[in-house]
Amino acid sequence: MSALIAPGARVMVQGMTGKAGTFYTRLAMDYGDGEGGGYVAGVTPGKGGSAHLGLPVFDTVRGAVDETRADASVVMAPAPRAAAAMIEAIEAEVPTVVCVTERVPVLDMVRVRDALRGSGTALVGPNSQGVLVPGARKLGVMSTADALPGGIGIAARSASLTSEVVAGLSAAGLGQSTTIGIGGDPIHGIGFARCLALFRDDPDTEAVVLVGEMGGIEEEEAADFLAADEYGKPVVALLVGRHAPQDRRLGHAGTIALLGSGTLAQKSALLESAGVLLAHTPEDVVRALRDGAS
């Protein structure tokens, strides 16, 4: 087992026939355990009945699910169509939807979140590098050069910093169970708290790393979740933006202070009092987990 994506997941791609869709689907199909990465279908309205990258293309998500028993979708549709694609997958009751599209309008995401209410779908993203189960499944656009199967679960707001942490962990012999990019936008799918619950319930995950930054509410929600109950696994948080000037737009769009967004110092204090080990650099993360494990 692993968190969120089962090793045998059957994956479709919404927007596979586009330039980015083609580029990243090809890479993802070459990754993992040699069954074409688990990829079984593409969905592009108007291109149903054709084939692309050796996979059947369907007009609708429902059609792809019915024919191929796909149980996860990667949304790579361009920003103006991404929300409609996510909502279509949610309405077709796809269990896991991962959206990597950048620059999706905020009010489109408000509509997507409305569609998620009461549904069983776990949405990851948008503006996410995706979900990686090292050695098995790649649902996304992340670097896989340094990923190694193992017991560390990672949930992150940033892609390149995740790659940095993954490289450091793998070099120290600490592999990863699942890495989840929750995305950098202010309104998105699952957050740190849900990822923590998934990693807690995943027997393959022994410890968790959160990669956060200033702005937003993710770190606060993670601290609330961890403070509520005994977590039972070590959690390390790497928080960046310690020296970001106030009122300047650095980092992700999600870092604009909208409502009730705390400073990095407040986030650090909340996480620390919830039992989280704080790290300042990717090297610190490796050190904390290596020393903690011994």
Partner 1 sequence: MYLQEAQSKTLIARFGVRVPDGRAARTPDEAAEGARRLGGPVMVKALIHAGGRDPVGGVRLAETPDEAHAEADRMLGTPLVTAQTRPEGEIVGAVQIERMLDFDRALYVALMVDQRRAVPTLMASMEGGTGIEEDAARAPAMVQKYPLDADGGHNPAALAAFFDMLGVPGTHAESVLETVEALIRAFVESDATLIEVNPLALVEDGGTVALDAKIILDDNALFRHPELKAMNDIAKGDETELLAQANEINFIAMDGEIGLVVNGAGLGLATHDMVIEAGGRPANFMDIRTMATPSQIATGIGLLLDRPETRVVLVNVHGGGMTACDRISDALGMAVEGRTDTPPVVFRVAGQNAAQARAAAAALPIRCTVSTDMGEAVRLAVAEAGR
Residues marked active site are found at 252
Nearest approach, Cβ of residue 8 and partner 1 (Å) = 25
Amino acid letter for position 206:
E
Nearer Cβ to partner 1, position 65 or 90?
Answer: 90
In the complex with partner 1, the residue whose CB is nearer, 71 or 213, is 213
131, 5 contact by CB (below 8 A): yes
| 172, 166 contact by CB (below 8 A) | no
CB of residue 3 to partner 1, shortest distance in Å = 21
Residue 70 CB, nearest distance to partner 1 (Å)?
23
Least distance from partner 1 to the Cβ atom of residue 50, Å: 25
Positions touching partner 1 (CB under 8 A) are 20, 23-24, 27, 79-80, 102-111, 113-114, 129, 141-146, 156-164, 167, 184, 186-187, 211, 213-214, 216-217, 221, 238, 240-245, 247-256, 258-261, 280-283
**Amino acid residing at 61:** V
- Nearest to partner 1 of 62, 111 (CB atom): 111
The residues with which 138 forms a beta bridge, in sequence order, are: 132
- 257 vs 269 by CB, closer to partner 1: 257
